[in-house]
């Protein structure tokens, strides 16, 4: 992921490129930073994957229209180098790591700026942006509100809050990791009969013979340790217990860090850990609180540039996150029947929800109501199968 390596390169020196590929790099990262980076990357990946899978619907005169140039740019290929999925990944990650993302319209294509400068702040007329860079290219022009979208969820950079919190955890996690690493070593006690600690001749014998034999015995996979009379090599149960305690403490701290990051981004804990039991409820919560706010602010930014007059005429954009959920057609068959028979959706609309192509026939675009739905004033005499017009 190019954006991830770029983010890390800003913090830590790059040691080498792999195979001449400028996107594949080896970066020296302190071990205690990996945990925070992995937690934030997991959260950012979940949100950006969801947004990348969403559909930006374009409406003309109040009706969805997939034949416009805007629909192609927003859902297929915003520019010649990127697909829409990669493009929205970049946008979301800029929002998460930088607090905001700038999308510029240049030559009929959309680009997510890697960096930019707010050259003029104009609260009434709108800000002006310059030094806009995409990759290794810098635009030799300025962008205004007429050809740029500044997408910001709020004024607080969540990343900075997490960084501040992690300063307290960093030292604790590093200490716990060292304790686990140290505790994973084998610990033994050499029981020696009699009192020989102060014997100079014994100390010399121990240094030249026994300590060498012990070291070879402990470091090699296959080894023999000669046990002399009066000497007994025993495992240290206290050290083994402490190793287990340190491991549990380290895992608990790492889990706690992921929980804090998931709470900051409004993502259920089980999604961050990958241990999902109730898929429907967990994903529903994730979409409502973790994804929809990003989708809403993107829709608003697109419509803001589209002007009030277009919005009033029914020309607007909506980032639809309902397509994120996987739907088994056999599992939702009963609900599909209810949607059609109640007149809520036409057959073509339901087919699109399930990922199938619409039939685009006269009857598949009509809305139906079964006899179960009757006019309360007329009772059963008015209950009949009704076909509503297309604009119902």
Q: Checking phi first, is residue 55 left (phi over 0); if not, alpha (psi -120 to 50) or beta?
A: beta
Closest CA to 320 of 44, 96, 50, 48: 50
Measured CA angle at 301 (ends 295, 303), to 5 deg: 100
Distance, C-alpha 9 to centroid of its chain: 20
User: Position of tokens 């059609």?
Assistant: 340
* Burial status of residue 150 (CB atoms within 10 A of its CB: 0-12, 13-18, 19 or more): buried
In the numeric block, which tokens belong to residue 374? 């009757």
Q: Please give the Cα distance from 164 to 233 (Å, whole number).
A: 48
Query: In the chain, where are the structural domains located?
Result: 1-100+152-183+255-326, 328-392
In the numeric block, which tokens belong to residue 340? 């059609």
Q: What is the pLDDT of residue 369?
A: 87
Q: Please give the Cα distance from 239 to 131 (Å, whole number).
A: 59
From first to last of the 392 residues of the chain, give the pLDDT tens digit. Answer: 444 444 444 444 444 444 445 454 454 556 566 778 888 899 999 999 999 999 999 999 999 899 999 999 999 999 999 999 999 999 999 999 888 999 999 999 999 999 999 999 998 989 999 999 999 999 999 999 999 999 998 756 677 777 777 777 777 666 766 766 666 656 666 666 665 556 777 677 666 666 777 777 767 666 666 666 666 666 666 555 555 555 677 677 778 888 888 998 999 998 888 777 777 889 889 999 999 999 999 999 999 988 899 999 999 999 999 878 777 777 788 888 888 888 888 998 888 888 788 888 999 989 888 877 766 665 444 444 455 555 54
Distance, C-alpha 83 to centroid of its chain: 18
User: Position of tokens 């590929």?
Assistant: 21
pTM: 0.72
* Burial status of residue 390 (CB atoms within 10 A of its CB: 0-12, 13-18, 19 or more): exposed
H or E segment at 326?
A: none
Q: Please give the Cα distance from 11 to 3 (Å, whole number).
A: 13
Alpha helical stretches, state H, 184-278: 200-205, 211-219, 237-264, 269-273
For residue 333, the tally of other CB atoms under 10 A from its CB is 10
Residues 6+ away with beta carbon under 8 Å from 301: 103, 149, 150, 151
């Amino acid at each position: 992921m190019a954006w991830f390596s770029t983010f890390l390169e800003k913090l830590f020196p790059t040691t080498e490129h792999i195979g001449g590929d400028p996107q594949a790099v080896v970066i020296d990262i302190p071990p205690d930073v990996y945990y925070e980076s992995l937690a934030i990357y997991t959260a950012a990946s979940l949100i950006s994957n969801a947004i990348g899978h969403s559909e930006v619907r374009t409406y003309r005169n109040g009706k969805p229209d997939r034949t416009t140039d805007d629909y192609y740019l927003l859902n297929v290929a915003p520019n010649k180098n990127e697909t829409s999925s990669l493009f929205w990944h970049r946008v979301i990650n800029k929002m998460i790591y930088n607090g905001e993302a700038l999308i510029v319209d240049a030559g009929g294509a959309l680009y997510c700026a890697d960096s930019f400068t707010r050259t003029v702040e104009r609260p009434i007329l709108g800000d002006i942006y310059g030094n806009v860079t995409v990759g290794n290219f810098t635009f030799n022009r300025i962008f205004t509100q007429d050809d740029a979208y500044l997408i910001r969820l709020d004024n607080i950079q969540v990343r900075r809050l997490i960084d501040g919190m992690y300063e307290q955890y960093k030292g604790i996690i590093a200490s716990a990791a060292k304790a686990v690493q140290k505790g994973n070593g084998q610990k033994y006690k050499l029981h020696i009969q009699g009192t020989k600690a102060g014997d100079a001749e014994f100390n010399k014998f121990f240094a030249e013979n026994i300590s060498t034999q012990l070291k070879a015995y402990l470091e090699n996979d296959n080894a023999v340790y000669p046990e002399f009379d009066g000497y007994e090599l025993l495992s240290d149960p206290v050290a083994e217990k402490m190793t287990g305690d340190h491991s549990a403490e380290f895992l608990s701290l790492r889990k706690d860090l992921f929980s804090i990051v998931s709470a900051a981004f409004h993502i259920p804990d089980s999604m961050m850990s990958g241990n999902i039991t109730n898929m429907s409820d967990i994903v529903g919560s994730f979409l409502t609180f973790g994804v929809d706010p990003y989708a809403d602010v993107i829709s608003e930014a697109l419509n803001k540039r589209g002007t009030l007059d277009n919005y009033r005429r029914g020309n607007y954009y909506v980032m639809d996150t309902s397509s994120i959920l996987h739907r088994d057609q056999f599992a939702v068959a009963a609900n599909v029947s209810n949607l059609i028979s109640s007149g809520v959706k036409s057959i073509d609309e339901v087919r699109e929800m399930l990922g199938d192509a619409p039939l685009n026939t006269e009857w598949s675009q009509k809305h139906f109501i079964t006899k179960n739905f009757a006019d309360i004033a007329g009772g059963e005499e008015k209950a009949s199968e009704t076909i509503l017009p297309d604009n119902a």
